[in-house]
Structure 1
Amino acid sequence: MRFATDPATRIHWPASFGRRFLVTVDVEEEFDWSRPFSGAARHVAAVAALPSWHRGMRARGVAPVYLVDHPVATDAATAALIAPLLTDGSEAGAQLHPWVNPPHGEVPGELASFAGNLPEVLEAAKIDELIAALTAAFGRAPRVYRAGRYGLGPATLRLLAARGIAVDASMRARFDYRAHGGADFTAIDGAAFRTAQGVIELPLSVVYTGLLHRAGRWLHPAATRVPRGGGVLARTGLLARVPLTPEGTPLADAIRAIRRAAQDGARLLQLAFHSPSLVPGNTPYVRDAADLAQFHRWWGGVLDALERHGFAPVTLDEVIRAA
């Protein structure tokens, strides 16, 4: 499925909103990203590292939004670790990993790992189960949703609106997951907009940098259809697609992307990562202690760059009210 925005639906932030950034965290189970999807992968030990990272972010004025999935929400000890973090603007939202989220009526596999590919009745039942688990764990229904693997489908936004979800954060701007059975977001430019169902869409920020950045929308997809084409453009400084995440994005690239976003007039950026990256060995991005130290340095450097270019932290509540 291909998603696109209509310029008429773009959210025009009031002047008082300024330039802002939101940090979201996919709080989820640890699983081997190289192995098949398994409903048994419900280990959540890495969440214990979250409070320490949270304290560092709060010291910089950041109130992260925690997008919590079913294994975390239904583990009493882990939910108890997260609950004290949900103050001063931080809150828990919903993240749906269908392979570990009941009810299980699908045939497991990559196609079914995108919740939007499931029959509408099953996708709805999984969303309802997740909302109930989060409400029981944290005493409040979630206001924001993310489909794991960015797995939006034709019914998802309508299902969210019917359940009072105000914000979706499932679209990863400028990425195309059709080769794996997912959605195409190459026409999503990263600006927030209101969907036809009335839901506020906050895409994950991805910025084109380089001499040819203005041609990125059509040039990057074309280049990636050629073997190593995208890599050649990036290495020569002509064009790079830079997701604002510590997972796979070098600090220098992220700083250039923030500068470019400011120059292009971006009003709201969304930065994100997966909670298992807080413990070495859980993701390809943080394999050892050296990678973890680099992960933390990334956040320090990126927060400095955001401040330098006039981006201030924002809470989800402030986003909803301003929109």
Structure 2
Amino acid sequence: SGRAEIGAHLHPWTTPPVDRSVEGDQRHHPFPHELPEDLLEAKLATLTDAVEKAAGRAPTSYRAGRFGFTGLQIAPLLSAGYVVDCSVTPYVSHAHLSGLPGGRGGLDFRAARPGTYYLDCDDCTRPGQSSLLEVPVTILFPRWPSRSWRACQAWQVRGAGRPVNRLIGRLGHGPRWLRPWRNTRAAGLIRIYRAAQTLALPCVEMMFHSSELMPGGSPEFPDQAAVERLYGVLEKTFAFMAADGCRSVTLTEFARNFSGRPEKGGPSRY
């Protein structure tokens, strides 16, 4: 009907083919970017075919599992017909997360910024010349200017990063995801939306896991009451956005209409 889109989300440990010589026994949950190129391409082909068979249409939007996205995935995605990625998390580092033993581990996206851009094959945190559009997760600073956070990042000493980041978060300096957590209120999400408007971003992108809509599917939402609260937060947030003139589109729809230039008179409201 065009009201929703099923994209591809690649978790290597649940996607065939499996190469035990590379992936071991799968308990380490490897990142996509830790795989050899040929194995990554084979898994992407499996996932793409599975989505097409289930949904009746090949996926054209992508997110790497555990946000494990590098420029090496751009060419295979384009070859498979993808037009947009949404794996980049501006201002956020996942470097503390481990994957394959001896592997690269999680990626650091602190250099990325929240705008929409065509990806650079050498550095996916910056604009480049590829035809794959990046629509990052909306992560902003609704309370403090980002320069305060950047100043704090600059004096972090090696090994003290995570404790310092936790302190920054408690003080309200840290980046905030457009993403509902257990104690999230609609007002907090609306504040992030307003921050996006201030920056004239062409769209906002919220994320959450489908399992979080199932009681007990996530530690964040352990029972029916918690899930009902989540629905209430989402309803209030989306109602506010709709009343403000924001309309919902799929990632692919946005990508195919993205010109790279702000609309005359202000930002697009997606």
TM range (shorter): 0.7 to 0.9
Which AA in structure 2 matches 1:185? F
**Contact 1:242/1:249 (<8 A) preserved:** no
TM-score, normalised to structure 1, is 0.66
Distance 1:183 1:111, change over 3 A: farther
Distance 1:114 1:317, change over 3 A: closer
CA–CA distance in 2 between the matches of 1:157 and 1:290?
A: 41
Which AA in structure 1 matches 2:149? G
**Contact 1:281/1:288 (<8 A) preserved:** yes
Which AA in structure 2 matches 1:307? A
> What does 1:150-229 correspond to in 2, within 5 Å?
150-180=67-97, 181-196=105-120, 197-219=130-152, 225=160, 228-229=163-164
CA–CA distance in 1 between the matches of 2:229 and 2:108?
A: 31
The equivalent residue for 1:18 is: none
TM-score, normalised to structure 2, is 0.78
Task: Confirm whether residue 306 of structure 1 aligns to residue 241 of structure 2.
Answer: yes
Runs of 4+ in structure 1 deviating by more than 2 angstroms, as ranges, are 108-113, 211-237, 304-312, 314-318
Q: Which moved more, 1:270-279 or 1:102-111?
A: 102-111
CA–CA distance in 2 between the matches of 1:178 and 1:184?
A: 6
Residue 235 (structure 1) shift: 3.9
Task: Confirm whether residue 243 of structure 1 aligns to residue 177 of structure 2.
Answer: yes
Residue 211 (structure 1) shift: 3.3
Two-structure CA RMSD over aligned residues (Å): 2.4
Which AA in structure 1 matches 2:64? A
Helix, strand or coil: the match of 1:145?
strand
**Contact 1:286/1:292 (<8 A) preserved:** yes
Distance 1:256 1:214, change over 3 A: farther
**Contact 2:182/2:226 (<8 A) preserved:** no
CA–CA distance in 2 between the matches of 1:260 and 1:179?
A: 28
**Contact 2:61/2:252 (<8 A) preserved:** no
Q: Which has the higher strand share?
A: 1
Distance 1:128 1:302, change over 3 A: same
The equivalent residue for 1:103 is: 17
| CA offset digits 1:177-207 (Å, max 9, x no partner) | 1221111111111211111432011111111
Which AA in structure 2 matches 1:99? W
Residue 317 (structure 1) shift: 4.2
Distance 1:227 1:277, change over 3 A: closer
CA–CA distance in 2 between the matches of 1:249 and 1:161?
A: 39
Identity value in percent:
29
Distance 1:211 1:173, change over 3 A: closer
Helix, strand or coil: the match of 1:89?
coil
CA–CA distance in 1 between the matches of 2:40 and 2:204?
A: 29
Higher relative contact order (CA 8 A, sep 6+): 1
Which AA in structure 2 matches 1:190? P
CA–CA distance in 2 between the matches of 1:192 and 1:246?
A: 22
| CA offset digits 1:43-71 (Å, max 9, x no partner) | xxxxxxxxxxxxxxxxxxxxxxxxxxxxx
Helix, strand or coil: the match of 1:296?
helix
Which AA in structure 2 matches 1:103? P
Distance 1:165 1:242, change over 3 A: same
Residue 320 (structure 1) shift: 2.3
**Contact 1:191/1:203 (<8 A) preserved:** yes
Distance 1:185 1:218, change over 3 A: farther
Distance 1:175 1:109, change over 3 A: farther
**Contact 1:173/1:190 (<8 A) preserved:** yes
The equivalent residue for 2:31 is: 114
Which AA in structure 2 matches 1:216? W
5+ long unaligned stretches in structure 2 = 98-104, 121-129, 259-270
CA–CA distance in 1 between the matches of 2:117 and 2:200?
A: 16
CA–CA distance in 1 between the matches of 2:119 and 2:78?
A: 10
**Contact 1:94/1:131 (<8 A) preserved:** yes
Distance 1:290 1:234, change over 3 A: same
**Contact 1:258/1:305 (<8 A) preserved:** no
Q: Which has the higher helix share?
A: 1
**Contact 2:83/2:252 (<8 A) preserved:** no
Give the count of matched residue pairs: 236
